[in-house]
Structures are given as C-alpha cells and as structure tokens.
C-alpha cells in the first residue's frame, strides 16, 4: 500500500515542480497602461512572446521587457553611447561588394553561442520595428538584446510597428545583440584592433543579424547590414532605392520603362555610378532588380519621371521640389530642346560604365 502512495506522491511532486518551472518560463514583463507590471502566477499570462523568442533559440531565464518607450528604456538604465565606426561586418549571401564572408557553419556556431548567452541573461529586452515606412512593402524586425542601450539606439533606426505585427509577418528579420558576450566569442571571426569593439555577422538566408560587443553603436554599419538583409523582402514587396541627381539632366524628364530601368541600373549620383543605388552588401543582382523594375513599369503601364534634385551645383529646396511635383502632376512638362553637350557626355559615361560592368547581360530594351 505504501509503494503506490509513495509513487503517487513523487509523481505529484514532479508534476508540481514541472508546472512551477513552466510558469516561471512563461512569466514575462509586459506593458500595461504605460507601466511595467510583472506577471504573477495568478494572473492571465500571454505566452506568445516567450514561445516566439524560444523559436529564435533564446529561452527566457527570468524577465523580458517588451516594446518599451524610450523614456522607459532610459529609466531602466539605457543611455546613448558614443558612436563608433569601422566595426567589421561579415555577410553570408552577399553578391555585390567585397564585404568579408562568413560560412554557413561559422554563422551557425556563432548563433548557437549567442543564443546560449542571451538565454543566460536575467533581463532581456525585445523590441519590434520595421525597415521602411510603408506597411505594404516594409520588412519587419525583432531585436533580442542583453542591453537596453542597444535597443534605445536601434529604436532610432527602425520604424515603429504595431504590436503582434511580427507574428503576422511571413519573413521577419531577427537582430541578436550580445554586448556582454565573452571576448573569445567576439574574436571568433577575426582579431586585431578593428575587432576590439566587437563585430557584426549577417546571414541573408536566415534573415538574422548578430551584433557582438559594441557593434550596435556603429549606425552606418547597422544601416548597411539592414539594407542587405531586408533587400530580398523589400524587393519582393515592391520597394526600390531612390535615384540620384546631376546638373547635366533636365529638372524633369518623362521616362519610358527601358529608360527608367537604365538609369536605375546605372545608379548615377554626384559623379559616381552605384549600380541599383546600393552601396551596401546585397544578395540581389542589380540586373535582376532593373529587369524587375522594367517588367513592372511595362506591364502596369506606369508613368515614370526623373526629377533632378540638383540645380546649379546645389540641391533644390523643399519648395522647388513641390513646384516640380505640381508641374509633373499637371502634365505640363517643358519642351526638350536640342541636347545639351553635357547630356551627350553623360550618355557616353553611362554607356562606358554599364558596358564594362554588365557587358552582354545588359538588356537591349534599356536605354538612356
């Protein structure tokens, strides 16, 4: 008789311990009426956030602070740190610039170390945002950080997005911030003075960005990394970079689909050619982007215009820009007279650059 009772008692104790452990795992800090209230065991708890974070490899050890306002972050100890530059960025899946690569195995190992580190932190900070201001063609981003200051800085880069929009997005990006991870991990992809403050590693296939050490303080690097990671999403949803400017072109020009794609592919701005207007690492072939733009414009019969934002060597102001838009909308474009000699010279530059860069792959439909 004592045997069954003892086994029942042990089973009940194990079940109780398991339930307590589960409640501890599920307990998170959430915002309520602009205040932070810890979820008690007798409160109804939303488990979605914890499970979503666990799906990214991070198990909440104790508390997680979700989508805090800047003032709340500062109350929690966040501060604007000194801006850094030159933080090394390694990208897996880049096809444009000479950014150092990172192998699939290297990134997987690094991600495992970083998620293990974040799972050991008592207080995690999770912030949701987006790259791009348009709901139709933005890319959702979730930040999981061990440092409120990193979240504060990233909040200035990302657009605000409604709660739960991440859970409804088909391909959100995840940023892992491991500022307090060991120096051994921080030196795993390289050594030397340039790695003293940490590094960043991005995997376009995984839609993941890892920021180790003080890498979060290099805003220029961050924007480049986000540009690379979100390029496939933004392109698939209809987002494209903006064109540049030069004094040689008229203030307003109506373009055919082939002309629009040609100018977009050349990416001419301030005397330099930047294919598809992308200085940052990118997984997308500029020719493929230009072809996609050409197809959309042609199939939808979309009117396309080129607005030159420069006049007499200076950028036009807001009033002049609005005036040009009004002229465009009134369909009262000025007549184009004989071609300026500078336009002829620019045509030659375009042809020389695109021929040397893309050669036989340049579509015949594209023209100046």
Instruction: Compute the C-alpha angle 230/233/237, nearest 5°.
Output: 135
Do 32 and 69 sit in the same domain of this protein?
yes
Residue where a domain terminates, one of 238, 269, 301: 238
Do 146 and 40 sit in the same domain of this protein?
yes
CATH of residue 347's domain is 3.90.228.20
More confident residue, 123 or 342: 123
Asked whether residue 49 is domain-assigned, the answer is: yes
Domain that holds residue 44: 17-238
Q: What is the pLDDT of residue 31?
A: 40
Do 214 and 258 sit in the same domain of this protein?
no
Asked whether residue 245 is domain-assigned, the answer is: no
Tens of pLDDT, residue by residue over 209-252, are 999 999 999 988 888 888 878 877 766 666 554 444 444 456 67
Asked whether residue 262 is domain-assigned, the answer is: yes
Do 199 and 60 sit in the same domain of this protein?
yes
Q: What is the pLDDT of residue 128?
A: 93
Do 321 and 174 sit in the same domain of this protein?
no
Q: Which segment, 121-135, 207-221, 270-284, is predicted with the most confidence on average?
A: 207-221
* Structure letter (DSSP) for residue 192: S
HSE (side-chain half, CA atoms, 13 Å) at 226: 25
Q: In this structure, how many other beta carbons lie within 10 angstroms of the beta carbon of residue 235?
A: 20
3-state secondary structure string, 248-264? CCCCEEEECHHHHHHHH
CATH of residue 98's domain is 3.40.449.10
Average pLDDT in the 62-82 region? 90
Asked whether residue 325 is domain-assigned, the answer is: yes
More confident residue, 2 or 173: 173
Residue where a domain terminates, one of 238, 267, 295: 238
Do 38 and 146 sit in the same domain of this protein?
yes
Do 338 and 270 sit in the same domain of this protein?
yes
Do 233 and 91 sit in the same domain of this protein?
yes
The total of structural domains in the chain comes to: 2
Do 213 and 270 sit in the same domain of this protein?
no
* C-beta of residue 277 within 8 angstroms of C-beta of residue 267: yes
Do 276 and 140 sit in the same domain of this protein?
no
Bridge partner list, 305 = 254
pTM value is 0.61
Asked whether residue 318 is domain-assigned, the answer is: yes
Band of the pLDDT at 57, cuts 50, 70, 90?
A: very high
* C-beta of residue 118 within 8 angstroms of C-beta of residue 124: yes
Do 163 and 300 sit in the same domain of this protein?
no
Asked whether residue 244 is domain-assigned, the answer is: no
Query: Which segments of the chain does DSSP mark as H helices, in order?
Result: 2-26, 48-54, 70-75, 104-119, 148-155, 183-186, 219-236, 257-266, 286-300, 318-329, 341-358
Residue 162 CB partners (closer than 8 Å, separation 6+): none
Q: Is the pLDDT confidence value at 264 over 90? A: no
Asked whether residue 129 is domain-assigned, the answer is: yes
Q: Is the pLDDT confidence value at 150 over 90? A: yes
In the block, which residue shows the tokens 């960025």? 89
Give the Cα separation of 291 and 271 in Å (integer).
Answer: 24
Do 157 and 271 sit in the same domain of this protein?
no
Asked whether residue 106 is domain-assigned, the answer is: yes
CA dihedral 132, 137, 142, 148 (to 10 degrees): 10
């Amino acid at each position: 008789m004592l045997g069954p009772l003892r086994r029942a008692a042990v089973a009940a104790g194990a079940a109780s311990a398991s339930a307590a452990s589960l409640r501890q795992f599920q307990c998170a800090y959430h915002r309520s009426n602009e205040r932070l209230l810890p979820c008690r065991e007798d409160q109804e708890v939303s488990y979605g956030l914890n499970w979503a974070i666990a799906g990214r490899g991070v198990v909440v050890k104790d508390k997680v602070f979700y989508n805090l306002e800047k003032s709340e972050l500062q109350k929690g100890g966040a501060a604007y740190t000194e801006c850094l530059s030159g933080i090394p960025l390694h990208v897996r899946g880049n096809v444009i610039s000479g950014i150092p690569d990172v192998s699939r195995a290297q990134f997987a190992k690094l991600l495992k170390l970083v998620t293990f580190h974040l799972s050991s932190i008592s207080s995690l900070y999770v912030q949701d945002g987006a790259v791009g201001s348009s709901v139709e063609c933005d890319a959702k981003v979730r930040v999981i950080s061990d440092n409120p200051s990193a979240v504060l800085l990233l909040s200035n880069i990302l657009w605000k997005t409604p709660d739960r929009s991440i859970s409804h997005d088909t391909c959100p990006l995840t940023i892992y911030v491991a500022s307090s991870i060991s120096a051994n991990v921080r030196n795993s992809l390289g050594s030397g003075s340039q790695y003293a403050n940490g590094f960043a590693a991005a995997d376009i296939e995984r839609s993941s960005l890892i920021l180790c050490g003080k890498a979060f303080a290099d805003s220029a690097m961050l924007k480049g990394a986000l540009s690379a990671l979100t390029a496939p999403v933004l392109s698939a949803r209809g987002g494209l970079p903006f064109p540049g400017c030069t004094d040689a072109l008229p203030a307003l020009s109506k373009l055919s689909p082939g002309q629009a794609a040609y100018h977009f592919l050349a990416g001419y701005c301030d005397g330099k050619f930047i294919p598809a207007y992308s200085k940052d690492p990118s997984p997308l072939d500029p020719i493929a982007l230009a072809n996609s733009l050409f197809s959309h414009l042609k199939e939808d019969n979309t009117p396309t215009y080129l607005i030159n934002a420069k006049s007499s060597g200076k950028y036009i102001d807001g009033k002049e820009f609005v005036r040009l838009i009004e002229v465009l909308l009134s369909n009262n474009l000025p007549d184009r007279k004989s071609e300026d000699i500078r336009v002829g010279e620019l045509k030659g530059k375009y042809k020389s650059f695109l021929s040397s860069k893309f050669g036989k792959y340049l579509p015949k439909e594209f023209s100046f």
